[in-house]
Amino acid sequence: MQPDQERLPAAVLAEAAASLPDDVTGYHDALLAAADAHDPIRMDHLVHGWAQARAELLPLTDPAELTMQAVLDRRLGQILFGAGHPAAAQVLSDALGAAVLADDEIETLRCHVALVPVEVLLGDPDALAAGRGYVEQLQALGEPGHAAGGLMGLAQVAPPEEGPVLVLRASHLYEQAGDPGWAAEAAVLAARALSAAGDPRAPDALDRARRLVHAHATVELRVALAEVEAIVLWQGGDSTTAAALLGEAISASERTGRPVAPDLQIMLCDILVDSEQWEALRAPATALVRFGELVEDDELTSLGQRYLARAAAPTM
């Protein structure tokens, strides 16, 4: 069953209609441009396009093209790993192999650190320490932005108390590298994790996130910051303001045609239930049902229906 095109976010539909490159150089250059523009929708489209095209475009022999392959395969492997796909390890290994063949020291280090989360999950007790070493080497080579990217990967498999600290450090390194968009995203992620855990460092991290997002405002970053602000307000007992803030952020994203993560709708529903705003609960609950139907996710659809039932009979 194909998704109902009319119900997809406008930005997703526009990107789906955009053309994809036809060679490794085109994919590589387009991906870097999308990363510089902090455009996650374009990045995802390019990476998925590369996943389909790489079988026809490989193998490569030119060192410059091998480096490009390494960059593309590394990003593809990281997305596959995040999705729990079993092909992640092989694609990341392919990336490392291409970087080694290209004799590219920086990209080889980046691929090594990208493989660390896989190695940790496979039970290698020394993998995380090795990953920290790769990051230090990247810093020593004058590559703070690449070191930051490595830290973001390591944070996925670091101990819970260390992960947010690695992400916050990554934010500082991104800023040092002159990359305000990724510095802001890392700061928001760190603030979210620290706030959710009630960590005393959360207020400082949130102040940093506010500053960076205001200096590099995108729809996605504004929504992400609003989520953190709502968490803090909700934890502080102000469910009404938390719901208003998060609801406006979601509405702003929808008005610009950007997709809204279902987790945000779920959080908004929970806040509205907590503050007993039953009429306001209908809109995000309905959005959850529609999204669940669109992606054929019965669990999301059922969750949205349960919220709708609460809105209809709040004393249940």
Q: Tens digits of per-residue pLDDT, 215-264? A: 988 888 999 999 999 999 999 999 999 999 999 999 988 888 888 889 99
Kindly state the tokens that stand for 161: 């108390």
Instruction: Report how far residue 79's alpha carbon sits from residue 307's, in angstroms, rounded to the nearest whole number.
Output: 31
Structure token digits, residue 199: 């960590």
**End-to-end C-alpha distance for the chain, whole angstroms:** 35
CB 21 within 8 A of CB 30: yes
CA distance 307 to 242: 18
SS3 19: coil
Closest residue by Cα to residue 151 from 160, 141, 138, 161 = 138
**pLDDT of 5:** 53
DSSP notation for 113-173: HHHHHHHHHTT-TTHHHHHHHHHHHHHHTT-HHHHHHHHHHHHTTS-TTTHHHHHHHHHHH
Distance of alpha carbon 222 from alpha carbon 27, whole angstroms: 28
With 0.85 as the threshold, say if the pTM is over it.
yes
Predicted pLDDT of residue 1: 38
For residue range 114-143, list pLDDT tens digits in order. Answer: 999 999 999 999 999 999 999 999 999 999
Q: List per-residue pLDDT tens for the chain, 316 residues long.
A: 344 555 668 888 889 889 999 999 999 999 999 999 889 999 999 999 999 999 999 999 999 999 999 999 999 999 999 999 999 999 999 999 999 999 999 999 999 999 999 999 999 999 999 999 999 999 999 999 999 999 999 999 999 999 999 999 999 999 999 999 999 999 999 999 999 888 999 999 999 999 999 998 888 899 999 999 999 999 999 999 999 999 999 998 888 888 888 999 999 999 999 999 999 999 999 999 999 999 899 999 999 999 999 999 876 5
Confidence at residue 255, expressed as pLDDT on a 0 to 100 scale = 87
Furthest-apart CA atoms within the chain: distance in Å? 68
Q: Hey, is 226 helix, strand or coil?
A: helix
Rounded CA-CA distance 302/289 in Å is 7
Please name the residues in contact with 57: beta carbons below 8 A apart, sequence gap of 6 or more.
23, 24
- Residue 14: per-residue pLDDT: 87
